[in-house]
Chain A
């Protein structure tokens, strides 16, 4: 679609309100955070304005590199799991009757209304030894005795996927609804089984949407700091957990700010790379 470029100053007027909101609630706080990340920390809980690289220097250690690596890996895994579950699920959902679709949508939206704390404790109960799902498996004779599945990495991953899945489905839904159903039918008349049609026609046709969803879930998962604490061991703590720890419990604002800025930069870098790779593939095709 072609659109006219705004010509006069008045044409930009509709942008004024969002621009003000973005400046006041995003650009200014983020600027403050960047500034604070260069400040000098005062022992005893406060900081003085300065321009030092101490905070970034402290960050350059094997420990933090490890935490950063784990955080990125966890976010990527959450994104991949969400898309791997979300795409087939949403595809089925769009083929259901209007009624079934509404029922599912209401259920998904109600998951969104749950706070992260409730999700965390619900899963920790579900995965516990005393009251968890392993007791059910024991009852039907599949297991010898109940075991604790939490804390641990699978527990963190499960809960984070659970939390991010409704967003994934809501983002995928419009694109999948608009997908021409005759594309799959055409593939079937050309000799593709329904499964083959899904992989050779539906997935490739949705490439851009899937990439955008991966990026969205990745960023969403990167910011999660409660679930790793509730369901994980210290080695499963993400950078977001450490940032919270520094900012709130250690009262080291400059260091927390430095870590946050670094995380933003790494995230932006990864998103740019992904988009670039996606664009390049598109151009090749």
Chain B
């Protein structure tokens, strides 16, 4: 997806995680990974975030328990599809979660301790 890095959600992620000052190659790798996940999910980055949230009656948002659970499964499926294992697998899944976290989705993944 062209221009992914320019999206406000990606900018927010980069700013919150300190990637904004990272070397361009690293930023490119992160964007490519998010892009690959979006293709796997068949959704745009904004839709990924929205799928984990619900609008409340007073106009605010809250976490969608079902949506977040589905997102965890989607991330696990993406990692499995890529055939990743060990630390690489955990870190890749958590980088996707990082994008969601910095956009207001409280979501945790496992730690790589093996």
Genuine A/B complex: no
Interface set of A (CB-CB < 8 Å, partner B): none
